[in-house]
Structure 1
Amino acid sequence: MNNWVQNDMLLRVVSVALAVMLWGSVTDATFTAPTDGDRTQIRDISVAVKYDKNRYELVEQPQKVMLTLYGNDAQLERFPSTYQVFVDARNVGAGTHSLPVRVEGLPKGITKQVEPKEVEVHLEEKVQKEMMVRAEFVGDVPDGFKVSQPIINPSKVLVRGSESTLERVTSVKVMIHLNKQEQSFDKQLRVQAYGESGVLQQVDVNPEAVHVQVPINIPNKEVPLQVGVEKGPPPGYAVEEITTNVNKVTVYGPEDYLEDLQVYSGPKLDLSKVKRDQTILAPIPVQDGAIKVEPKQVEIYVKMVRAETKIFKEIPIELTGLREGATAEIISPAGGKLNVTLSGSPAQLAKLNHTDIKTLVDVSNLPVGTHEVPIQFILPSYVEVVGQPEPKAKIKIAE
């Protein structure tokens, strides 16, 4: 027995045999390939990239990977979605790098295999440039209102990103939503970089927001105010004078409306029951085409007197609207002249002469033949025709 133990060759053989058995048992326990029942595969996983975003720009996302997980059925069924698949590029500089894919957040007892094991990451060093901020309007203001040039502070910002990305930046803008806004406003608005295809997300803008003042106003024009008389005084009375505390008003409205506006028609007075001097506070109406008028009301002083009448003889009748190729003859009143009796204040009548009185007959579109046409009077203010209700002229139209 002692001889057998002391035999060096035999001991060596036994040692090798034991080593082989031990290796086999360890290998079987640790590296046995799992069966289909205790593994799961997750395809097309996006790989996050950890890098210094202040210095570098990730030009494009790395390729997607497939993750194979190993474990028992219970572990795989309760597998959480909070794991992370990423590459760490914080210790590399600009350029293209092949980096190992790492997985964190797996529960204990689950092993993994990633395919491919490495992905390429392309980083570019960030550069910056200064650009003017432009304003772009979304929507509109109500009709007649006008938006003036916005005031942007600061007017310039720094745009930062990779060199290739900055080459695609065509403008930096703030979007101003008007939404039928009627008053000027100011607010902080986000600044975004734009390329030919729209917003560029890979660009940093500093500052991210700017203060924008948007002036909104209505075009306006100052014109004389005209106060009219809708119903004249009762019989026997006349208006000698009408004065107002304001002679001009500011009219707000579209530019095309204001362009042709020379006089603004104000209140129309009903004096049918007024026999003595009176002060009237009346609102100034907003006429069609206007948006508003300032001031909103006017104080009107009406001076009343006893009326007188005066006859003006042989006022010639004028014809208007005669078509080309036609002739017109005034049959009556004889000689194409009319005697007119006017009523008004003594002061007004004293100043009138024949040239201040116009009588018109409109023969527009009249066919050949004889027609009775109303006579129209154009008279100075606060003077009216009396004793001739609805006067007419007999007109003969011929070719």
Structure 2
Amino acid sequence: MCRFLIEKVGKSVPLKINQTGKPSDDIAISSITPDSSEVIVMGDADVLAKINEISVDVSVASITADTVREVTIPVPDGAKSVQPQTVEVRIKTAKKSNSDSEDRNTDQNEPDSNTNGNETPDSNTNGNSNSSSDTKDTSKTFSNLDVFTRGLPDKYTAQMITPANGKVNITLNGPQSTINQISASNITAIADLSSVTEGEYSTKIQVNNLPSQVTYKLSVSTAEFLIKLKEEEESRG
């Protein structure tokens, strides 16, 4: 039986959003919300112990309407990588006062926003058309996604038995507008090893960072491991 040695150690940490820049004079920022509130940092255990959060700067400079921006997650000093590598941040806005720029904001708002869609019959008609398109279900498959581990106690080592190559395929299903915005870097497949005991151990593969309206199916839903004490491994060496 082919066994895949897991070398990476992962730690889940909160994502902190720092607002930078200023929007247009008549616009106030209501909220800045990332599509994932946590990220997985990969690296050596001693490095991960010092990492408690990751900060990301999000610029709101010159924003005139609701906006979605993709930002890159920085890799902390000493760490090997982060998952996901990018997140989408939804920036919600509100007008400070009524002005003659309503039409300009209507054009710049997201297609799925109904904020201005109800102002006139024509706008409402277009809003319904976009809403129908956005809510149409579709599916999308991503292949060969790495299965990461987290929570393995320091006294153990873990060998992955299934999936043999440490990778899975995932098929997503949900609203077309949402599915189209998801890339492989947004998806993290994780096997939680925090409750392992010595010997064979199996656990459900969890998928993080997906929007709530998206469902998924994995090619392999359960990961199987061979758990050993480090002392035994060292004595054999």
TM-score computed with the length of structure 2 as normaliser = 0.39
Q: Which has the higher contact order (CA 8 A, sep 6+)?
A: 2
Whichever structure has more strand as a proportion of its residues is 1
Q: Which has the higher Rg, Structure 1 or Structure 2? A: 1
TM-score computed with the length of structure 1 as normaliser = 0.24
